[in-house]
Amino acid sequence: MTITKQAVAEKLAAYLRHDLPLTQLVDWAENAMMEGEFAAADAEAIRDVVSRLGLADVRAFGLTWEECRALLARLGYRAQVEIVT
């Protein structure tokens, strides 16, 4: 299975929406690093982001909002927040 920028961005977005727990995001990232094939055109950016997500469950390497924004930007995406009642 080829891992694309869009697939990584969707996983990160699911985490930010609380649709995907951190443990599952980390598990996915760890598996992707071991078994995944990264899309050739963006392999370096994808590998950098996925490897960072794989460390997100370590206290010293937590995942802040600013980091999420930066990771999405590395993939060519922009995060927005919408406040609703």
Residue spans of the domains in the chain: they are 2-74
Residue 49: other Cβ atoms inside 10 A: 23
The model's pLDDT over 11-64, given as tens digits with 9 standing for 90+, comes to 999 999 999 999 999 999 999 999 989 989 999 999 999 999 999 888 777 789
Q: Is the pLDDT of residue 7 over 80?
A: yes
pLDDT of residue 6: 96
What pLDDT is stored for residue 52 in this prediction?
94
The token pair at 22 is 């951190």
**Distance in angstroms between the alpha carbons of the first and the last residue of the chain:** 39
Report the predicted TM-score, pTM, of the whole model to 2 decimal places.
Answer: 0.89
Q: What is the DSSP pairing of strand 2-3 with strand 37-38?
A: parallel
